[in-house]
Structure 1
């Protein structure tokens, strides 16, 4: 059996060298490249997700998801819901035309389990089936490569009520049956399937801190939860997620792959980690953070088991794989998808290990900071933290070395405003995207097996962290207008010119102010 990442793939020495490189050679803002510098088979696209984009939450037979329950309980910072979102359920034809007009080569979206199977299992909703078939057919007509995520954090409420969702091994059978419907109905046109979006974030945010639905946690690790156990539930949820993914991959490989010739992968949320100092403790904590965030999900799918450091730290609180399960999950992904926005600094926190009450974060024994001089942070989300394109290059090269040979898709990368007004003249977003694309190219040239890059998001939509007050889109959506009109931002124009090989990444200096409206939205 190949060694796991925690034992060989990223030594303390390599982390030290990366740390020195970070301080010695800051990332250059200006990069000179065009679309032609990437391989022809490399795809550029953008993405959305079902609950954030579709709206029409109570139309045509769709049943509630846990995000409907969460938002209708008033738990979003702006008290918003996804009832309308970006209106994609009714405006998808218009949006596919925008996708094509922009020159996107691929589009990444998710399917609503609740819309397709309103009972969570059993009969297929004909209206839901019609919607996704129509969306897919429109994309095919426009020659857009289709990438689909089966589950983007929006679990059917009916199954959550029945057996507590991802906490129960019963989810494996239901998720596999749901995937079977998707493969059967859409697999003749869809070749790239991601089973789950960010199972590491699902486990932490929904079952440790309780910040995401179904809002399970226990004191002192989370607040305002009515049920849960932060000490064990994150590990159980991740365990069932991995087994469910492996079950779906087995189904696809045995029943569909030979004829449909597609691929099934897993997504993780990622950030690059820098030690906050040159101390051996901080350097070790930096590797430990990578094992706990990345290795937690990917090590089992490549090597058949969790990183040794996780098993040591969590002990009996992390479930064990049986021999049969280990054989099932090993080699159980055709590609890796990452959502990547930023980097963090790591402080060792091992001095707290002797406490009796422990959760995932205590086991990791690492404190997250947004800069070397910042206050500690436990957030695993892209908020106001600094831009660090070089961190994406390091992450891609880490995946190259840790999980050799496995293709990687950057499935989310983008810039939100987080409470500030967005601008049609979003030069900051253009700069962000161009620099991160440059880091992907640098990693590619260094041997990373990177296959695609997707901007988050194609258009403004309901954001899971901030509702309608954190726009990420290439296209502005006027949420105050019942018609939800779309309007291109500078970033959409820039991306379009780049993809059509009309321009390089120095677009910020090549589009004059009078070519685009300077306006706050």
Structure 2
């Protein structure tokens, strides 16, 4: 941790005296700038043209979102994708990251392809390419078909691997002639915790005392089982793509992880060890097998027999199963050593790590989180995991408006947030990190998985009171467009520097 601190202090000293002189031309040739969304969060048309429910439809219709909202309409991109692509083109995006809804393309989870779903994604991809925008496609982004969940408990069954691989094959076969960047799975290192440990998100499985009011489950075992099957499904899809499609389609394939970074809550050695351990649990859970072919030793020793085993054949298939690694990065967390957790007879993910996590929640207008955690994460990947090619697929600022229905253009705090992160990203690349793209979350206001319609991340706002879900450009959209079209990063009070590298 001390070495990372020293590294970042040196990095800060290397900032250009006039930070506003930084332009997109300072980034490596071929570097990709984009923005993103995901299917359930933006498409709407939840019951149209043959689409069937996902576990997220079931979840939101049971009233579990903070504001009781659903993704039934969301930003209604299903009906307005041409307008949105035009806005992307005008903004100057190189790429758009989106996901394919499994229950729209194959409504029953396996079997027949929905022709209307196939038509929609073909049209969206063609429209993007017509406007010179790269499609970056996530195959599975949380919205697991409810039919398969009902049939065999979804990710808890090894049957998921075969069904997912068949679905991925349909995507490669249908769209791979035009899609050159594939992501197999989005954030498996948090879907498993929220869905199978604390039960806050679908399919809402957990066990007492780690979660309440769940639909069944075992927090001590199920997160590890679900993660194991997601890892094997990822490796299966990568193997299929490389063996059957990659030579002719000439694309790239990877996985996207949630890239939170954990700092010690205090300057004690116990909390420093807890932060290191939590980074191994959170990032290493998938990075370690992807690079070294097995789960991290600290997880093996602490989870014990509850940790699934990778066979020799599985280890070979998993190791190296990526052309790039995507990371969704948001403000850091604080880790405190939990001395009592490891003595409990029943343990979950956080108890196994013997860590109490204090999320940084003070993300309000007027306060901008220091972006140093992104630099530390990238340095960690460089030192521990061989400096893999990285795409930052999500990074953004969510505000909670005082009057949700009011259209507000002024979001300079979002522009400041993005500028600060781009400066740190530039410095990390200059220091040798192999980062190849940066995507703002989100292009539009979307249905947020943790916040419903309460918190807004969009460069473009959505008038949710309008039947047509009217789009409007916030100041941050104009700021990002200016940068993408050759402008300098404007000086918007980069207050994060006052935090140093803490």
* Alignment TM-score, normalising by the size of structure 2: 0.93
2:350 — aligned with what? 361
1:96 — aligned with what? 85
2:153 — aligned with what? 164
Cα contact 1:102–1:495 (8 A) shared by 2: yes
Cα contact 1:16–1:278 (8 A) shared by 2: no
1:315 — aligned with what? 304
| 2:386 pairs with one of 396, 404, 412 | 404
User: Any idea what SS the aligned residue of 1:271 has?
Assistant: coil
1:242 — aligned with what? 231
2:104 — aligned with what? 115
| 1:391 pairs with one of 349, 352, 373 | 373
Deviation at residue 14 of structure 1 after TM alignment: 2.8
Cα contact 1:19–1:274 (8 A) shared by 2: no
1:39 — aligned with what? 28
CA distance in 2 between counterparts of 1:303 and 1:330 reads 6
1:436 — aligned with what? 421
1:517 — aligned with what? none
| 1:415 corresponds to 2:415 | no
| 1:58 corresponds to 2:47 | yes
Deviation at residue 173 of structure 1 after TM alignment: 0.3
User: Any idea what SS the aligned residue of 1:342 has?
Assistant: coil
CA distance in 2 between counterparts of 1:227 and 1:490 reads 46
Unaligned runs of 5+ in 1: 1-11, 372-376, 510-521
| 1:143 corresponds to 2:132 | yes
CA distance in 2 between counterparts of 1:296 and 1:250 reads 20
Q: Deviations over 1:82-102 (max 9, x none)?
A: 000100000000100011011
Q: Deviations over 1:164-185 (max 9, x none)?
A: 1111110000000000000000
1:7 — aligned with what? none
CA distance in 2 between counterparts of 1:13 and 1:160 reads 45
Deviation at residue 284 of structure 1 after TM alignment: 1.2
Deviation at residue 300 of structure 1 after TM alignment: 0.8
After superposition, the Cα gap between the structure-2 partners of 1:99 and 1:93, relative to the gap in structure 1 and judged at 3 Å, is: same
Which moved further from structure 2: 392-401 or 428-437?
A: 392-401
1:457 — aligned with what? 442
| 1:466 corresponds to 2:448 | no
| 1:425 corresponds to 2:425 | no
Deviation at residue 29 of structure 1 after TM alignment: 11
Unaligned runs of 5+ in 2: 494-502
| 1:504 pairs with one of 465, 481, 488 | 488
Q: Deviations over 1:209-268 (max 9, x none)?
A: 100000000000001102010000000011000000000000000000000111110111
* Alignment TM-score, normalising by the size of structure 1: 0.90
Cα contact 2:368–2:413 (8 A) shared by 1: no
The alignment's C-alpha RMSD in Å is 2.4
CA distance in 1 between counterparts of 2:364 and 2:285 reads 23
Number of residue pairs matched by the alignment: 489
CA distance in 1 between counterparts of 2:439 and 2:224 reads 29
Cα contact 1:19–1:275 (8 A) shared by 2: no
